[in-house]
Amino acid sequence: MKRLSSDELDEALKTVAAYGTITAAAEALGVPRKTLSARLARAKLRDDEPSTDAAAELPEFPDDDIPVSEILDNMERRFEKRIAAQSARDWYEVKIKGNEPIGLCFVGDPHIDSNGCNIPLLRRDLEIMSRSGMYGVNIGDTTDGDWPGRLMRLHSQSDTSLDTARRLADYLLNDSGVNWLAWIMGNHDTWGADADLMRAKNIKQIPMSDWMARWQLVFPNGRRCKIISSHSFKGHSMWNLLHSNQRAATTTAEAHIYASGHLHNWAIHQEENAHREFIYWLVRSRGYKYIDEYADRLGHAQQQHGATICAVIDPQADSETRFVACFADLAEAADYLAWKRSR
């Protein structure tokens, strides 16, 4: 590589002086910042030392990466894309095609691969949820997941392999007959690669969210039902199973339904908030793990109902109190929905 002339070194000094920064000067000269910095260093050596004939001509190597300014440009574009994607998921809309009442089923933690999963009940409920006008929301913990750390020993206690567990999850997502409108990833889902595998299997493009989703049903007549579905909300009370849901309804955004799971117990409650002037339902689904050695060791009694809570939503209701009605008995909810749709 040719030795830089004094004119080239002078040009480097003058350009930096004119533009104020090395980055701006490098862009003006059309050279990488690292190259200009090297030229400035040579110019300083030239000015600080007496001029002598060089004993050797050292090579000048090209940069092995793009300029930092271009890296920042790419990072800025990626950030803008991420912000736009995040904003689009906040209160996303699911458009229902008719104004007839529908049933929205909040499916509690399936744990479909667990030895303790109530398979007969789950299969019965999947058949009910596949009927006309019924839709599903998976609250999370589809499988036991890939047990981490010291919990790995629990794999040896399961009759189901990890591969079979993932096949069962794929069945629930794609082949169970349920029209899913939302799918939440719980803590068990995010152990290992299961969450990424579920997204890869999501051929129907069902909205999937980590832990919580804020979304709304939109009916042709303009009626909207706002829902916050979370694997669990923040807060806990040994006396009130819906404490964390109530906390969300009191301190966060207004919604018609605050639905959760996670704790393997159930409760439903309707209330009017006079200060914030809205009516809402609190829902916690029990789920399908009916044999639970962990709960037994802690002395927790096992509830026998409320595996899935169904909200019957009537967009033609003439009052807010009749807009949503929640049922802990899925078969009863299906009968009520059929009656509402036949009127």
Query: Where are the domains positioned within the chain?
Result: 6-82, 94-342
Where is pLDDT greater, at 143 or 54? 143
CA 177 from chain centre, in angstroms, equals: 23
Q: Say whether pLDDT at 49 is over 70.
A: no
> Counting Cβ atoms within 10 Å, is residue 293 exposed (0-12), middle (13-18) or buried (19+)?
exposed
Whole-number Å distance between alpha carbons of 116 and 273: 39
Whole-number Å distance between alpha carbons of 262 and 277: 29
Instruction: Please state which of the four CATH numbers 3.20.20.70, 3.40.390.10, 3.40.710.10, 3.60.21.10 is assigned to the domain occupying 94-342.
Output: 3.60.21.10
Give the per-residue pLDDT at 259: 98
Q: Are strands 278-284 and 257-260 parallel, antiparallel or unpaired?
A: parallel
Where is pLDDT greater, at 129 or 160? 129
Hey, what are 239's tokens?
């006396």
The model's pTM: 0.82
Dmax (CA) of the chain:
102
Give the per-residue pLDDT at 120: 98
Hey, what are 327's tokens?
């049922």
Q: Say whether pLDDT at 138 is over 80.
A: yes
> Counting Cβ atoms within 10 Å, is residue 309 exposed (0-12), middle (13-18) or buried (19+)?
buried
Question: If you average pLDDT over residues 208-231, what whole number do you get?
Answer: 97
Whole-number Å distance between alpha carbons of 228 and 139: 11
CB distance 138 to 182 below 8 Å: yes
Mean pLDDT comparison of 7-21, 27-41, 93-107, highest-scoring range = 93-107
Question: Which helix H or strand E contains 121, and what residues bound it?
Answer: helix 119-129
CB distance 336 to 325 below 8 Å: yes
| 74-127 pLDDT tens trace | 999 999 999 999 999 999 999 999 999 999 999 999 999 999 999 999 999 999
| 155-208 pLDDT tens trace | 667 888 889 999 999 999 999 999 999 999 999 888 877 788 888 999 899 999
Q: Say whether pLDDT at 1 is over 90.
A: no
The set of residues, in sequence order, having a beta carbon less than 8 Å from that of 278 and lying 6+ positions away, is 254, 272, 320
CA 214 from chain centre, in angstroms, equals: 10
Where is pLDDT greater, at 30 or 156? 30
Beta bridge partners of 283: 259, 268
Residue among 139, 166, 143, 140 at smallest CA distance from 154: 143
Give the per-residue pLDDT at 152: 62
Give the per-residue pLDDT at 125: 98
Hey, what are 277's tokens?
């002037």
Angle at 124 between CA 123 and CA 130, to 5 degrees: 85
CB distance 218 to 224 below 8 Å: yes
Residue among 131, 159, 123 at smallest CA distance from 144: 159
At 123, the amino acid letter reads: R
Question: Per-residue confidence at 248, pLDDT binned at 50, 70, 90?
Answer: very high
Residue among 214, 218, 217 at smallest CA distance from 233: 214
Q: Say whether pLDDT at 51 is over 80.
A: no
Beta bridge partners of 230: 212
Percent of the chain, pLDDT > 90?
66
Average pLDDT over all residues of the chain: 91
Residue among 253, 186, 241, 246 at smallest CA distance from 215: 253
**Other Cβ atoms within 10 Å of 38 Cβ, number:** 16
